[in-house]
């Protein structure tokens, strides 16, 4: 029985997939749509690991990088072993030997399922097709910002520009994502819970929730359509991780912000193409990722590689190099410890942010 046949065997019953995940320490497993979600060993974030139950494609969202691979690669990651050993391990969980013969079933949809399993991530902007919605997508929500945003330094006027609103049913602050080239077209809505860390942990509440099924942040940039003209004027586009950092930048500039966010700490090839296609070549790209990226460690807790280079800085350099061949690119580095461990470069206010920005490191 080859690797693909074992995958098909696992995909026939979700409980089999759960058994594999639990055997490598994944816990707090739950189902959302066509995915299984769970927390890695020694951690509590039950949205970190995602497994597509149809094709067993896996994602593991870590603070320093995102893992993508199939179920065998995920097993190998946690068991620290090669594919051959991971494949043998998965088979042993179900008593599958080399002579196992899979039961033959006739599935009239198998042809179409195989097409879906062969799908690869899009890497060309021209291939991206996403549903677009007008403001009617927000009609069921309260069009007022949550008080928590004000306490974080985001003014109501800025929240109004970005149509930030509130879902009273699920108790979430909503951040509509507008298409990168249209300030009137909503393509995604991210909802952040207002519940405490303890409630999130005990009640298994996802911290973030995507209200538009199928929306992928990697094919868009939050705030880009709004910030585009001001980025051109300032000769600079600052790339943050999260939506709130963009809103803070807009508040600090009296709603003339020059930033966007990628929704994580990785920039996709599609996002690079969006920036390169819509910004003039004299606009500098500034990578402004959170402090925890700067303090990145390897699995042994080391901050540096074998050559003594800081892992976090090397990561930021590689990210900036995605643009440096074509235009000026730089990254923010907090060498004076002005930020807390998980801060965005803008979280400590205008003065600190501009000190960091003035001392950015150019590639």
Q: Is residue 253 part of a domain?
A: yes
Q: Are residues 303 and 282 in the same domain?
A: yes
Is 128 inside any structural domain? no
For residues 127-166, b (16+ Cβ closer than 10 Å) or e, as one string?
ebeeeebeeebbeebeeebbeebeeebbbeebbebbbbbb
| Tens-place pLDDT, residues 151-162 | 999 999 999 999
Q: Which of 362, 355, 358 is nearest to 328 (CA)?
A: 362
Euclidean distance between CA atoms 333 and 1, whole angstroms: 51
Instruction: Tell me how far apart the alpha carbons of residues 81 and 314 are, in angstroms, rounded to a whole number.
Output: 26
pLDDT band at 142 (very low <50, low <70, confident <90, very high): very high
Sign of the alpha-carbon torsion through 254, 259, 265, 270: positive
- pLDDT number for residue 141: 96
Together in a domain, 231 and 212: no
pLDDT at 104 over 70: no
Same domain, 229 and 319: yes
Q: Is the pLDDT of residue 114 over 90?
A: no
149 and 174 together in one domain = yes
Question: Rounded to whole angstroms, how far apart are CA atoms 8 and 3?
Answer: 9
**Do residues 67 and 154 share a domain?**
no
Mean predicted confidence (pLDDT) in 167-186: 96
**Would you state the pLDDT for residue 316?**
96
Which pLDDT does position 133 carry in this prediction?
95
Closest of 81, 3, 28 to residue 11, by C-alpha: 3
Tell me the average pLDDT across 133-144.
Answer: 94
State the residue range of the domain holding 88. Answer: 3-117
Residue 47: the pLDDT is 82
> In which band, very low, low, confident or very high, does the pLDDT at 213 lie, cut at 50, 70 and 90?
confident
Q: Are 39 and 167 in the same domain?
A: no
Mean pLDDT of 51-70: 84
Note whether residue 157 is domain-resident: yes
Task: Look at residue 208 in the predicted model and tell me its pLDDT.
Answer: 86
pLDDT of residue 137: 95
Q: What is the structure's pLDDT at 102?
A: 44
What confidence category does residue 116 fall into, taking pLDDT thresholds of 50, 70 and 90? very low
User: Which residues, in sequence order, are CB contacts of 180 under 8 Å at separation 6+?
Assistant: 220, 221, 224, 225, 274, 278
Q: Looking at the structure, tell me whether residues 251 and 211 fall in a common domain.
A: no
Q: Is the CB of residue 113 less than 8 Å from the CB of residue 26?
A: no
pLDDT > 60? residue 121: no
Q: Is the pLDDT of residue 109 over 80?
A: no
Is 271 in the same domain as 335?
A: yes
Q: Do residues 80 and 139 both lie within one domain? A: no
Residue identified by tokens 């509590």 is 44
Q: What is the pLDDT of residues 286-342, one digit of tens each?
A: 999 999 999 998 878 889 988 999 999 999 999 999 999 999 999 999 999 999 989
CB 246 within 8 A of CB 227: yes
Number of CB atoms found within 10 A of residue 321's CB: 13
Are residues 257 and 161 part of one domain?
no
Any domain includes 313: yes
Per-residue model confidence as pLDDT tens digits over 248-291 = 999 999 999 999 999 888 899 999 999 999 999 999 999 999 99
pLDDT higher than threshold 60 for residue 10: yes
Beta-bridge partners for 68: 59
Residues 180 and 229 in one domain: no
Average pLDDT over the chain reads: 89
Q: What is the CATH number of the domain that holds 192?
A: 3.90.980.10
Q: What percent of the chain has pLDDT over 70?
A: 92
Q: Are residues 170 and 98 in the same domain?
A: no
Distance of CA 28 to the CA centre of its chain: 20
Positive or negative: CA dihedral 87, 88, 89, 93: positive
Q: What are the structure tokens assigned to 36, written together?
A: 């299984």
Could you give the CA distance from residue 177 to residue 126 in angstroms, rounded to a whole number? 19
Going by pLDDT thresholds of 50, 70 and 90, the confidence category of residue 107 is low
- Tokens 């055997």 map to which residue? 23
Look at residues 88, 117, 146 and tell me which one is the last residue of a structural domain: 117
pLDDT given at position 117:
43
**How many structural domains comprise the chain?**
3
Distant-in-sequence, close-in-space partners of 226: CB < 8 Å, separation ≥ 6: 161, 162, 178, 183, 250, 257
User: Does any domain span residue 267?
Assistant: yes
**Model confidence, pTM:** 0.77
């Amino acid at each position: 029985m080859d690797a693909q046949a074992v995958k098909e065997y696992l995909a026939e019953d979700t409980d089999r997939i759960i058994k594999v995940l639990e055997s490598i320490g994944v816990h707090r497993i739950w189902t959302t749509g066509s995915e299984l979600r769970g927390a890695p060993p020694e951690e509590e974030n039950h949205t970190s690991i995602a497994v597509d139950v149809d094709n067993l494609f896996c994602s593991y969202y870590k603070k320093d990088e995102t893992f993508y691979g199939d179920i065998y690669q995920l097993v190998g990651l946690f068991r620290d072993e090669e594919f051959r050993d991971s494949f043998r391990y998965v088979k042993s969980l179900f008593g599958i030997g080399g002579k196992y013969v899979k039961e033959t079933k006739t599935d009239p949809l198998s042809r179409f399922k195989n097409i879906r399993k062969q799908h690869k991530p899009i890497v060309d902007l021209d291939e991206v097709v996403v549903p677009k919605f007008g403001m009617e997508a927000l009609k069921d929500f309260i069009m007022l910002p949550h008080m928590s945003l004000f306490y974080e330094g985001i003014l109501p006027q800025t929240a109004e520009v970005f149509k930030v609103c509130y879902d009273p049913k699920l108790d979430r602050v909503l951040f509509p994502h507008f298409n990168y080239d249209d300030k009137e077209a909503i393509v995604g809505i991210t909802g952040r819970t207002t519940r405490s860390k303890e409630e999130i942990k005990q009640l298994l509440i996802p911290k973030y929730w995507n209200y538009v099924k199928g929306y992928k942040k990697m094919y868009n940039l939050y705030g880009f359509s709004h910030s585009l003209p001001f980025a051109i004027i300032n000769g600079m586009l600052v790339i943050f991780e999260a939506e709130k950092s963009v809103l803070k930048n807009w508040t600090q500039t009296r709603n003339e912000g020059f930033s966007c966010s990628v929704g994580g700490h990785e920039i996709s090839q599609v996002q690079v193409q969006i920036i390169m296609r819509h910004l003039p070549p004299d606009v500098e790209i500034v990578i402004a990722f959170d402090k925890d990226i700067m303090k990145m460690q390897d699995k042994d807790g080391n901050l540096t590689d074998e050559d003594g280079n800081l892992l976090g800085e090397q990561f930021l350099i590689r990210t900036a190099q995605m643009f440096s061949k074509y235009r000026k690119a730089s990254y923010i580095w907090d060498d004076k410890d002005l930020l807390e461990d998980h801060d965005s470069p803008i979280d400590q206010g205008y003065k600190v942010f501009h000190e960091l920005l003035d001392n950015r490191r150019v590639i």
